[in-house]
Amino acid sequence: MESFKTSTGRESRSTVASPGTVIAVILIATFMDLVDVTIVAVAAPNIQASLGASPAQLQWIIAVYALSLGAALITGGRLGDSYGRRRTFLVGLAAFVLASAACALAPTVGVLIGSRVIQGLAAGVMVPQVFGIIRSSLEPRQMGAALGAYGGVQGLASIAGPLLGGLLVTANLFGLEWRSIFWVNVPIGLVVLLIGLKVLPESSQPTAATLDLRGATLLAGSLLLLLLPIVQGQTWGWPIWGWGILAAGLAGLVLFVIFERRLAARGGQPVLDPGLLTNRAFTGGLLASLAFFGGVASFFLLLSIYLQDGTGRTALTTGLITLPYALGSMITSGAGVKLAARHGRSLLITGSLTIAASHAAMWLVITGIDQPVWWQLGGPLLLGGLGLGLAAPPLVNVVLSAVPGRQAGSAGGVLSTVNQIGGSVGVAALGTLFFTQIASSNTREPASAFGGALADVLPWQVGIYLIAAALMFLLPAVAQTSETATVEGGQR
């Protein structure tokens, strides 16, 4: 029997012999969440063929998960502070398992999209508890190793997602095809849930923040209104009323900021601390993160569709082709974390420019060769992974260095939400451009149609990362080095 320090100063007893078991439980659950971001991209063409999904519906399957996850992150963190991080984590995990089963059983695209919303909300409740549990379970000297393990899980998930998705879809176990990518969460999640009930320590905040449900709802609704015409515009024929919905989404965001300011003025605890928006460096960091993660999420979806529907490759081969990207990320991520304390901003700018160069190189390959082989695609993908490893790991801490320590927790939650929103917007905007180009293509040759569409998107990808690099000049020169700051502010 071993005791763990809680954030309230009390001790919580656990039957586990080592804190390592606690960390293993929460990291396995985190791994499932991270894999679910990338695994669906490889399976997307199979889902499209199986359920007859339209291009817009395919985008929603990817985008709504990231959007609902981002919308729930800050509120999820406050739920843990108020009702106990262990309890909230386990409830979120149980809901994630149930939602995964619902995704696997989905008879229609609409049911699958709705289940993905619930899955994202469940992940948004579960993920914020990871850092609170780490903080309450470990001594400060142990946190560095725990955060390093978390970074390792992120790298492993980036490799395992495409490979596992490709393997499961290609193996077609029990005739499940794409459904197996969701079923795999169920037994793993149930085992983690049962172990977590026995070993996770409970902790909460003595004076927990109140829930700003109206602010969170207004933000989520406004973002949905923004994405709706972007994703559905081609299907609708770009009507005038679609642009009206887009304008309503923008107006909703303005109302959200006004509401949050008034709530703060009354002494309330808003989802978004209005004072953060007056910090130019932090605001620049949010915009940089929005662009950075928007480019990553959309690229893998479109590349997967090109490789499978355009060049006729299997899902497994697609996963193997993307392996250099993940390997490149793992090669540089360790150096990125170590050098962030002295060269944080320079690393971010270098990483973004490297990713921009990788997309430019990919454009040269796609436009110059009708059926590129794996090694011709592998070079640009490896380059992109190297850039991602330099920039992604230290990005959170560099951005958080722009805010006072007392605002680190709130700023970290906002930053995590923006990262997920960036993924949703990227999938929606660049996915729409990609599918619009395919629909307007004059050739019936799949390789030419899909290759041409990807070639049209890649210059936009280059521009996105150039913009991200420019915005990063607004950030502090170095990252935070405090483990406490990392745990308090570090979300995904």
Say if residues 72 and 33 touch (Cβ distance below 8 Å).
Answer: no
Q: What is the pLDDT of residue 144?
A: 62
Q: What is the pLDDT of residue 205?
A: 66
Residues near 115 by Cβ (< 8 Å), separated by ≥ 6? 99, 102, 103, 106
Question: What does each of the 492 residues of the chain score in pLDDT, given as a tens digit?
Answer: 444 444 444 444 444 446 778 888 888 888 888 788 778 888 999 999 999 999 999 999 988 998 898 888 878 888 887 888 889 999 999 999 999 999 999 999 999 999 999 999 999 899 888 877 877 777 777 666 666 676 667 656 766 788 888 889 988 888 999 999 999 999 999 999 999 998 888 876 666 567 788 888 998 899 899 889 988 887 888 899 999 999 999 999 999 999 999 998 888 888 888 888 888 888 999 999 999 988 888 898 899 999 999 999 999 999 899 889 988 888 887 776 677 778 778 999 999 999 999 999 999 999 988 889 999 999 999 999 999 888 887 887 788 887 876 666 677 778 888 888 888 899 999 999 999 999 888 777 877 889 999 999 999 999 999 999 999 999 888 765 444 444 444 444
**Angstrom distance (rounded) from CA 125 to CA 186:** 18
Say if 13-199 and 277-492 have the same CATH topology: yes
- Residues linked to residue 13 through DSSP beta bridges, in sequence order: 3
Q: What is the pLDDT of residue 154?
A: 66
CA triple 30-282-414, angle to 5 deg: 35
Counting every residue, how long is the chain? 492
CA triple 35-36-38, angle to 5 deg: 70
Cα-trace Rg, the chain: 22
Query: In the 3-class helix/strand/coil scheme, how is the chain assigned residue by residue?
Result: CEEEECCCCCEEEECCCCHHHHHHHHHHHHHHHHHHHHHHHHHHHHHHHHHCCCHHHHHHHHHHHHHHHHHHHHHHHHHHHHHCHHHHHHHHHHHHHHHHHHHHHCCCHHHHHHHHHHHHHHHHHHCHHHHHHHHHHCCHHHHHHHHHHHHHHHHHHHHHHHHHHHHHHHHCHHHCHHHHHHHCHHHHHHHHHHHHHHHCCCCCCCCCCCCCHHHHHHHHHHHHHHHHHHHHHHHHCCCHHHHHHHHHHHHHHHHHHHHHHHHHHCCCCCCCCHHHHHCHHHHHHHHHHHHHHHHHHHHHHHHHHHHHHHCCCCHHHHHHHCHHHHHHHHHHHHHHHHHHHHHHHHHHHHHHHHHHHHHHHHHHHHHHCCCCCHHHHHHHHHHHHHHHHHHHHHHHHHHHCCCCHHHHHHHHHHHHHHHHHHHHHHHHHHHHHHHHHHHCCCCCCHHHHHHHHHHHHHHHHHHHHHHHHHHHHHCCCCCCCCHHHHHHHCCC
Say if residues 366 and 458 touch (Cβ distance below 8 Å).
Answer: yes
Structural domain boundaries in the chain: 13-199, 213-270, 277-492
Tokens read off for 244: 């009206």
Cβ atoms < 10 Å from Cβ of 298: 30
Instruction: Tell me the CATH class for 13-199.
Output: mainly alpha
- Residues linked to residue 5 through DSSP beta bridges, in sequence order: 11
Q: What is the pLDDT of residue 19?
A: 75
Residue entry with tokens 């390789």: 447
Q: What is the pLDDT of residue 363?
A: 97
Q: Which amino acid is at 241?
A: W
Tokens read off for 77: 């963190």
**Angstrom distance (rounded) from CA 490 to CA 483:** 10
Say if residues 299 and 489 touch (Cβ distance below 8 Å).
Answer: no
Q: Which of 153, 71, 159 is nearest to 420 (CA)?
A: 71
Tokens read off for 155: 């790298």
- Residues linked to residue 11 through DSSP beta bridges, in sequence order: 5
Q: Which amino acid is at 393?
A: P
- Relative orientation angle of helices 19-51 and 55-83, to the nearest 10 degrees: 160
**Long-range contacts made by residues 1-10, C-beta under 8 angstroms, separation at least 24?**
4/136, 4/137, 4/201, 5/136, 5/137, 5/139, 6/136, 6/201, 6/202, 6/203, 6/204, 7/132, 7/135, 7/136, 7/203, 7/204, 7/205, 8/203, 8/204, 8/205, 8/206, 9/206
Q: Which pTM was predicted?
A: 0.84
Query: In the 3-class helix/strand/coil scheme, how is 85-131 assigned residue by residue?
Result: HHHHHHHHHHHHHHHHHHHHHCCCHHHHHHHHHHHHHHHHHHCHHHH
Residue entry with tokens 């790991």: 393
Instruction: Tell me the CATH class for 277-492.
Output: mainly alpha
**Angstrom distance (rounded) from CA 191 to CA 184:** 12
